[in-house]
Structure formats: structure tokens, C-alpha cells
Chains A and B, each alone.
Chain A
Amino acid sequence: MTLSAHPPAPDVPDATARPEWPDATGHFGPYGGRFVPEALIAALDDLTEAYAAMRVDPLFLEEFAALQRDYTGRPSPITEVPRFAEHCGGARVILKREDLNHTGSHKINNVLGQALLTRRIGKTRVIAETGAGQHGVATATAAALMGLSCTVYMGEEDTRRQALNVARMRLLGAEVIPVTTGSRTLKDAINEAFRDWVTNVETTNYVFGTVAGPHPFPEMVRDFQRVIGDEARAQLLEREGALPDVVLACVGGGSNAIGIFTAFVPDDGVRLIGLEAGGDGVETGRHASSITGGDPGVLHGARSYLLQDENGQTIESHSISAGLDYPGVGPEHAYLHDIGRAEYRPVTDTQAMEAFALLCRTEGIIPAIESAHALAGAMQVGRELGPDAVLLVNLSGRGDKDVETASRWFGLGDHAEVDPGPGLDTDQQPTEGAVSNDEAVAGQDAGEQA
């Protein structure tokens, strides 16, 4: 029994094996590795070793499975959304409901694993970075559950646009430190968390939130998140007796996408599509599409695709979604892209918000704006493939945290006095390109005919 185990399905090749990558030193082809100060290597080695022992330890696996079941509420259901699917060229759309997890997103899957690992290596304090606040909330939750002290670094800009999650973290007993350096967003929060870690590594474990960063984080976070795809694959086989044609997920750092992709990687007939945050459009330069619009380089401890200028300086990303507003991406995505196993496409703010509104109105589900990028991808891909296609979409989180951003975007309520957040400047409020409240539901027919 290992982390990757799920019940083998009849008539379908077993997909429980871990991928052949990364290698022993954390490389996914030319990507990944460790580009960090030497002072952190011992801590990373300790983590790698402790994790290697933990992931095959029956006691851990039992405790982890119990937490997932009794605390997170796993398995999360799959939900077919036929009214939404009418806007996807008639393709069938099935959502994997990570939004129904405790704390409201897939982030809890990873932090429970890393919090157990923290306890196992005898450290008493955890730190985390957060963009939208979902990983910060999840880490604060796991820290409260396991009696660990918790500090969360969050870009000052993000503390403003995700104020609700700041309050949640503080209620859970975490210290939230607004980061005022650099662009004051997720990438700078990660820099500050690394600085804290290198200074306090004796007592502190860094609970990294995504499949990026130095080895072993990309591999470990993937292993903790692959439960999403393991479950969904088994659920689809049980319900439909077949695998989906396409699996879609949004990609910032890429943890929910790796989580749902991994089980399907060996299934050659299943297309894997990651939707990157296209912001105002990749062609405008204001986006967060690291694979579509970036180049290989080194950021935050690993080689992968990133947004950078000619001097190798990281370029600030732009997205309406704080959780995707990151100029890098996990190294496994870079590898899956290069070997042609997964495709990556940008989805603009406008397209994502159109899908956001559509799911609210057609299915009674308010998605996270991050996840709305995957829904927008389903609308595109469904129209390309037509009525016979079955699309599995990872609904990675719920949208409660985004209600204010969405209200501003759609001009609901009285937000005239309120300062618009980044990526949603006054001059970008619903214009001809954006979808109004009603159009979001009614205005799809023209597009579907195409």
C-alpha cells in the first residue's frame, strides 16, 4: 500500500503506479532540481528522507486516510453539470468537487500530509506562503488541528483583495505577515517564507503550497494531491464504465492540475489540458501564463517555465485570480508540456469571469475564480469536440472568497466608492468584451455555433 494506491479498475490498465519522474535528485527531464542556498540543503535532504519513509509507512497512511475521510470529507463527489454543458458545445461536463472539501479547496489535501510530516520530523512551527489565501487558510487549519505554531506570508496586495481569508487565518490562530517587498504578491511572499525558513530551520518546516519549489516539494505535493485524480478516475469508471476524453484544470503553480492529471498520465487516450491565467491576454504582456508566454529559467528553487525579461528578472504577473497570479509554474508541468503529454492554454480574465457567472446561474455552484479558468477551458474544448465528448473538470475551490471581486466585475451592488483591485482597474470594469450578468447565461448561442 502506498500513497498512490486506489482500487484497480476492471478492463482498464492499472494507473496506480507513480510516474517515472522525477529522478532521485528531483529532476523532471531538464526541469526541477534544487536552486537554493546551501543553508537549506540539509533541511531539504531531511524532508526528502523523512518523506520517503513516511509515504510507505502503514501507520502514516492509515492516519492520513482517516484525516482525509473524517476531516476533509473525502472522497469528494463528481457532479455532472448538464445545464452548464449546454454552453460547452453539448459535450458532457463532469466536475470533480474539490470545492466541497473542508476549507473550501484542494489545498487541504497537501497541508494535512505536510503537517503530519512536520510532526514526524519533530518541528513545532510551520510557515507558508499564500496568494489567494486558500493555502494559507489550509495551513492555518492543519496547524490548529495538530497544535503547531503557524506563520503565513502574504503579499500586501493580496491581503487587500483577499481580506476574508486573512481574517479566517487569524481566527485559526495563525500570524499573517503582509509582504511589502517587490511586487507585493505571491512571488514575494515565497521569497519571504524562504528567508524565514533559512533563519529558523531548526524549529520550522516550510509547508509549500504548490508543485513548484526545490526538490522534494514538487514530488511530495503531487503525491498528496494525486488523490483528486485517483478518486475521479475510479468514480468515472464506476459511473460511466469509461475514462473521460479530456481532463481540464487551472494552472498557477499547478497543484490541483497535477493532482487530477497524475492518475490519467498513463491513459494515452485521455487528453490533459491545463488552463493558465491569461489576464488581459497573453499578447498584452499582462498575464500569468508561464508556459504559453514564458521561457525556461530558474525561480524559487527549481528550473521551469517562467515570465522573465532579457536580464533574467522575473516579470510581474497579472490575473484577476490571486491564486493563479504567479510568474512561474511547477517543473512537472514544464516537463509534461515538453514531452507533449499535456497541453496548456491561456484563459483571459474575461473568459474566466464569463464561465464563473455561467456556472453560478446554470448549476447553483459558485466556483473559485481560479477554477473558473478550467470551466472556461471546458467551454472552448467542448465546442471543439462536440456532443460526444466527456470532459472532466477539476473544480478546485469554491468562490466565497471571490464574491467581492465578482460583484465588482459584474457591477453588482454598490461598489462605486470601493477601490478596484489589481487586474480589475476601473477602466476594465465590464466593457464591450466583458459579459454582463444576463449575457453570461443568455449570450452563448453565437459562440456555440462556431
Chain B
Amino acid sequence: MSKTEDDGRVSIAASASEPGAERVRSRGSLLATRITAARAEGRSALIAYLPVGYPDVPGSIEAMVAAVEGGADVVEIGMPYSDPGMDGPVIQQAVDVAVRAGVGMRDVFRAVSAVAESGAVPVVMSYWNPIERYGVDRFADDLAAARGAGAITPDLIPDEAAPWIAATDRTGLDRVFLVAPSSTDARLAATAAACRGFVYAASTMGVTGTRATVGHAAERLVARTREVAEVPVCVGLGVSDGDQAAEVAAFADGVIVGSAYVRELLEGRGPAGVRALSEDLAEGVRRRPVVPA
């Protein structure tokens, strides 16, 4: 259901394939375009997180494609990191395997290309040190060449992001920063203004992991963010099934699901489990919001 590519994307891919070609900023955001298109269908976008390298690199790419086949609009492609301070036990367990196997940025770009090929929008999720180690400009160039939309950087705040902002301005890549319930109004505004693609609203105070309820904090945070953001607002942390996806879809432009996908792999259900979860979540983000009487 996410197989169609808009014209903009095809032309970007063509320009990125030219050596040294710089993409123009005016081309628009791949992420915002896809999320806005979902909104035009009267639904939220489904954003699936999976780390590269679990159970191994080909297996993780297969799982990402399965997530797209099941209905994910965007895949957050996780660069494994040895010290994932924002992740809970489920993601830690999978990422630990990938780190020990020596998974690197080259593997991430392979996954990016495969996801782009499958028709979804690929966005890299990486803690900052692997990007800095790879080289910020080199990372931006290679990500653009692999047809990635941009990157989500959970431990990089705009205050520290000058090189990344310059690199994404130069290449036209999206850059997604996080806001949290504890963010002040001033920080919400500054962070939203620095984002391109969407704003990642971390719904609860805590680490990644599925939760019984997503809670009102998410809705309140989205409302506060919308007041200052010109880009879509997507919600992550805690969503694990179609019902929760529907709950979040009622107020957010995109629903981000991570640990629930990873659990499918950890518990041995493989790409089939990932595809089934995507189908459930994709149904959830399409439910008509229940309007209070």
C-alpha cells in the first residue's frame, strides 16, 4: 500500500546519483511529503523502527521490508550503538548483538537503499557519536546518495548541532530532533524550528519500550508542539498495538513504533511477525478518531 513513489523522490534519487551533485534545499522534505500525504488520506503515518544487524544485516533488512509490506510509511533505520542511553531493555538486547557483530554505517546505508527500493521513506536513527566518527559531511553525502530522507538524532540537541545543521542544509536532508514533556515552551519553539521532516515528540518521560497506556502527556505535548511547529509532529515511545496506534493517531501526524517491532524478532516470529504487526498498526492509524461528545 506504500508502493507508489511521488515524482519528487525519483528526481532526487537521480540527482543524488551524480558524483558531487548537491541536492537543492528547495526540493522539499521527503519525510514531510510522505506524512502530509498520509494526512491527506485522513490518517496518520506509520513509522517503524528496526535496528540494522539483528538478527544479522540481511535479516534486519528483510524485516524492514516486511514492515513496509505490512503498511509502514516510514522506516527508522537504527544504527546500533554500544551505549544506547535512551533505549529500554528490548532494543538494547537486539542492538547489543549488532554491535558485537561489528555492524557499521555501510550496513546502515545498505538498509537505507533497500527501504527506499521497497517504497517507504528511509530515515536513519543514530546516536551522535557514530555519525561524528563517520564524519558529519561524509555521512550526509552518503546518506543522500543512498536515498535516505535524513536522520533522527536522539542525543543531539539543536544547541550542539551546528555541523549537522550545516550538512543537512547543504544536502537538503531532513533532520529530526526530539521534544519531551519536560521541554520548556522556549525550547519547544527552538527545537521545532530546527527540525525538518517532522518533530519527534517523546511521549513519556523515560526510555523506549512498550507501555500499557501512552497517556495524556503525549496529547498535551503534541498540542504544545503544534502551536510552534511548522512541520508534522510524530509521537514515539510506548505504542505497541493497533489500539494504541489509533489512540495516538487521533492527535499526531505520525505514530512511531520501535520496541514492539523488535520484540517480534527477539521472540522469533521473524519477518512474518513484523509484517503482521505492521498490518495491525496500519489498521490502527486508519481508524476514525473517536470524537468526544
Contact = CB atoms under 8 A, between A and B. Distances in A.
Physical interaction between A and B: yes
Interface of A: 25, 33-43, 45, 181-182, 187-188, 191, 194-195, 198-199, 201-202, 297-301, 308, 310-314
Contacts of A38: 157, 177-180, 182-183, 187, 191, 202
B160 A37 contact: no
Contacts of A300: 83, 85
Contacts of B180: 37-39, 41-42
B156 interface: yes
A310 B133 CA distance: 7
Contact of A313 (B82, B128, B154): B82
B99 A313 contact: yes
Interface residues of B, number: 43
Given A35-B160, A38-B178, A308-B129, A198 B207 contact: yes
B244 interface: no
12 contacts: A38-B177, A38-B187, A38-B191, A41-B183, A41-B187, A42-B183, A195-B88, A198-B206, A199-B206, A202-B205, A308-B129, A312-B129
B207 A312 contact: no
B110 to A, nearest CB: 14
Given A311-B103, A313-B81, A33 B133 contact: no
B206 A312 contact: no
B133 A312 contact: yes
For A182, A195, A301, A310, which residue has the most chain B Cβ atoms within 10 angstroms?
A: A195
Contacts of B85: 36-37, 191, 194-195, 300
A181 B95 CA distance: 11
Given A198-B206, A299-B129, A310 B86 contact: no
Given A37-B155, A37-B180, A38-B178, A312 B83 contact: no
Interface string B55-97: 0000000000000000000000000111111101100100010
A39 B182 CA distance: 6
Contacts of B99: 313
A34 B157 contact: yes
Contacts of A311: 102-105, 130, 133-134
For B85, B133, B159, B191, which residue has the most chain A Cβ atoms within 10 angstroms?
A: B85
Contacts of A301: 155
B160 A34 contact: yes
Contact of A181 (B92, B178, B206): B92
A312 B182 contact: no
B109 to A, nearest CB: 13
B86 A37 contact: yes
A300 to B, nearest CB: 7
B281 to A, nearest CB: 24
Contacts of B17: none
Given A35-B155, A35-B157, 15 more contacts: A38-B191, A38-B202, A42-B187, A181-B89, A182-B82, A195-B85, A195-B88, A195-B206, A202-B205, A297-B129, A298-B132, A298-B155, A311-B134, A312-B131, A314-B129
Given A42-B184, A199-B207, A314 B82 contact: yes
Contacts of B187: 38, 41-42
Contacts, number: 117
Contacts of B156: 35
A191 B84 contact: yes
Contacts of B102: 311
A38 to B, nearest CB: 5
Contacts of B104: 310-311
Nearest to B161: A35
A187 B160 contact: no
A310 B103 CA distance: 11
A201 B129 contact: no
Contact of B130 (A36, A40, A41, A312): A312
B181 interface: yes
B83 A191 contact: yes
Contacts of B86: 37, 195, 198
Contacts of A195: 85-86, 88, 206-207
A362 B182 CA distance: 56
A218 to B, nearest CB: 15
B214 to A, nearest CB: 15
Interface string B135-177: 0000000000000000000111101100000000000000001
Nearest to B200: A38
A188 to B, nearest CB: 8
Contacts of A191: 83-85
Contact of B182 (A42, A181, A297): A42
A249 B216 CA distance: 51
A6 to B, nearest CB: 34
A321 to B, nearest CB: 21
Contacts of A199: 205-207
Contacts of A310: 104, 133
Contacts of A297: 129, 132-133
Contact of B96 (A34, A39, A181, A312): A181
B188 to A, nearest CB: 9
B83 A39 contact: no
A301 B133 CA distance: 15
A34 B156 CA distance: 8
B238 to A, nearest CB: 12
Contacts of B207: 195, 198-199
A35 B128 contact: yes
For A33, A38, A42, A311, which residue has the most chain B Cβ atoms within 10 angstroms?
A: A38
B183 A33 contact: no
B183 A312 contact: no
A298 B182 contact: no
Nearest to B208: A195
Contacts of A188: 83
For A25, A298, A314, which residue has the most chain B Cβ atoms within 10 angstroms?
A: A298
A35 to B, nearest CB: 5
A308 B84 contact: no
